[in-house]
Amino acid sequence: MERLDTIPVVSASSPGSAVGVTGNVLPLLHEIRHALERLARDRDPTVIDLRAIPFAPGDEERLLSLLGRGEVSLVLSALGRSEIRESGYPGVWVVEHYNDAGERIALQIEVTDIPAIARSQVADIEESSTRLNDLLMNDNG
């Protein structure tokens, strides 16, 4: 029989604990660990949408604080701001998308070498080649 004092209840304001009030962060860390193994073994990337996770108050802060910050941080300006940063665990990225009003519209964990959205996109590369071409044509004219 479980006694009350053996149940790991922690206040929501103590982000240092990996377990937290409900223990909902722990399985997520395991999922990230499995995704890292897949990435290392098969080059197989994973995206986890945190909107679909039933977090308790403080769980998101706890997860992000446990992941920590790594060497790379990128700011993307397209339809509002986005922050793309490597966590303290290389290969684990935190991607936050905001809209024009500064409200967050997506929060994702990407387990990959670099999130696809950070790369220059083929369509944009073609477009920039055309634009540079036009600029040079106009200068010559």
Residues within the interface to other proteins (CB under 8 A)? 1-2, 7, 9, 12, 21-24, 47-49, 51-57, 59, 76, 78-80, 82, 97, 99-101, 103-106, 108, 116-117, 121-124
Please choose, from the candidates 127, 94, 128, the residue with its C-alpha nearest in 3D space to the C-alpha of residue 112.
94
CB 55, CB 73: distance < 8 Å: no
Cβ closest to other proteins, residue 53 vs residue 70 = 53
Least distance CB 46 / other proteins (angstroms): 9
Least distance CB 42 / other proteins (angstroms): 15
Say how many C-beta atoms besides its own lie within 10 A of residue 115's C-beta: 21
Work out whether the CA dihedral 65, 94, 41, 33 comes out positive or negative: positive
Residue 63 CA to residue 73 CA, distance in Å, equals 18
Least distance CB 129 / other proteins (angstroms): 14
Tokens describing residue 49: 């949408």
Cβ closest to other proteins, residue 6 vs residue 138 = 6
Least distance CB 140 / other proteins (angstroms): 26
Tokens describing residue 81: 């701001």
Cβ closest to other proteins, residue 56 vs residue 70 = 56
Cβ closest to other proteins, residue 134 vs residue 141 = 134
